[in-house]
Amino acid sequence: MTIKTPDWVKNATFYQIFPDSFARSQPTAKGQWQASSLEGWDATPTLQGYKGGNLWGTIEKLDYLQDLGINAIYFTPIFQSASNHRYHTHDYYLVDPLLGGNVAFESLMEAAHQRNIKIVLDGVFNHASRGFFFFNDILENGPYSPWLDWFKILDWPLSAYDGSKPANYVSWVDNRALPQFNHDNPQVREYIMQVGEYWLNKGIDGWRLDVPNEVKTPGFWEEFRDRVKAVNPEAYIVGEIWSDARQWLDGKQFDGVMNYLFCTSTIAFAGGERFDPKYVEYDYNPYPPLSAKEYGQKMLDLLNLYPEEIKLAQLNLLNSHDTPRLITTVGEDKASMELATVLLLTFPGAPSIYYGDEVGLVGGKDPDSRRGFPKTENWDVSVLKYHKELIALRHQYPALRTGSYEILYAQDSVYVFARILDREEIIVAVNVGTESAKVNFPVTKLESQPDRVLLGSGRLAWQTEVERSELEITLPPRNYLIVK
* One-letter identity of residue 246: R
**String of b and e for 147-180 (b: at least 16 CB within 10 Å)?**
bbebbbbeeeebebeeeeeebebbbbeeebbbbb
Whether residues 35 and 111 fall in one domain: yes
Given a cut of 80, whether residue 467 has pLDDT beyond it is no
Whether residues 425 and 475 fall in one domain: yes
Q: What is the pLDDT of residue 27?
A: 84
Given a cut of 90, whether residue 462 has pLDDT beyond it is yes
Question: What does the alpha-carbon distance between residue 315 and residue 388 come to, in Å, rounded to a whole number?
Answer: 19
Asked if residue 147 is part of any domain, the answer here is no
Given a cut of 90, whether residue 270 has pLDDT beyond it is yes
Asked if residue 247 is part of any domain, the answer here is yes
* One-letter identity of residue 325: R
Kindly indicate the confidence band of residue 465, based on its pLDDT and cuts at 50, 70 and 90.
Answer: confident
Kindly indicate the confidence band of residue 189, based on its pLDDT and cuts at 50, 70 and 90.
Answer: very high
Residue 58 maps to which CATH number? Answer: 3.20.20.80
Residue finishing a domain among 363, 396, 429: 396
Note whether 343 and 429 are within 8 A (CB): no
Note whether 463 and 441 are within 8 A (CB): no
Given a cut of 90, whether residue 330 has pLDDT beyond it is yes
Whether residues 290 and 429 fall in one domain: no
Domain count, the chain: 2
Whether residues 311 and 426 fall in one domain: no
Asked if residue 114 is part of any domain, the answer here is yes
Whether residues 90 and 234 fall in one domain: yes
Model confidence, pTM? 0.96
Asked if residue 44 is part of any domain, the answer here is yes
Mean pLDDT of 126-149: 98
Q: Prior bond to 143 cis, omega within 30? A: no
Whether residues 381 and 465 fall in one domain: no
Q: What is the percent of the chain with per-residue pLDDT over 90, rounded to a whole number?
A: 95
The alpha carbon of 472 is separated from its chain's Cα centroid by a whole number of angstroms, namely 36
Note whether 395 and 350 are within 8 A (CB): no
Asked if residue 407 is part of any domain, the answer here is yes
Whether residues 220 and 333 fall in one domain: yes
Just list the catalytic residues: 210, 240
Residue 418, domain extent: 403-483
Q: What does 121-180 look like in DSSP terms, one character per residue?
A: EEE--SB--TTSHHHHHHHHHGGG-TTGGGB-B-SSS--SS-TTS---B-BGGG-TTSBB
Q: What is the pLDDT of residues 35-85, one digit of tens each?
A: 889 999 999 999 999 999 999 999 999 999 999 999 999 999 999 999 999
Asked if residue 310 is part of any domain, the answer here is yes
Whether residues 273 and 219 fall in one domain: yes
Q: What is the pLDDT of residue 28?
A: 77
Asked if residue 361 is part of any domain, the answer here is yes
Given a cut of 90, whether residue 172 has pLDDT beyond it is yes
Question: First vs last Cα of the chain: how many Å apart?
Answer: 36
Q: What is the pLDDT of residue 1?
A: 79
Asked if residue 161 is part of any domain, the answer here is no
Mean pLDDT of 131-146: 98
Kindly indicate the confidence band of residue 410, based on its pLDDT and cuts at 50, 70 and 90.
Answer: very high
Residue 418 maps to which CATH number? Answer: 2.60.40.1180
Q: What is the pLDDT of residues 91-111, one digit of tens each?
A: 999 999 999 999 999 999 999
Residue finishing a domain among 355, 380, 396: 396
Q: What is the pLDDT of residue 33?
A: 84
Kindly indicate the confidence band of residue 468, based on its pLDDT and cuts at 50, 70 and 90.
Answer: confident
Kindly indicate the confidence band of residue 328, based on its pLDDT and cuts at 50, 70 and 90.
Answer: very high
Q: What is the percent of the chain with per-residue pLDDT over 70, rounded to a whole number?
A: 100
Q: What is the pLDDT of residues 281-310, one digit of tens each?
A: 888 999 999 999 999 999 999 999 999 999
Whether residues 307 and 415 fall in one domain: no
Q: What is the pLDDT of residue 373?
A: 98
Whether residues 325 and 246 fall in one domain: yes
Residue finishing a domain among 396, 429, 462: 396
Whether residues 335 and 449 fall in one domain: no
**Residue 402: enclosing H or E segment and its boundaries?**
helix 399-402
Whether residues 297 and 378 fall in one domain: yes
Given a cut of 80, whether residue 273 has pLDDT beyond it is yes
Q: What is the pLDDT of residues 348-389, one digit of tens each?
A: 999 999 999 999 999 999 999 999 999 999 999 999 999 999
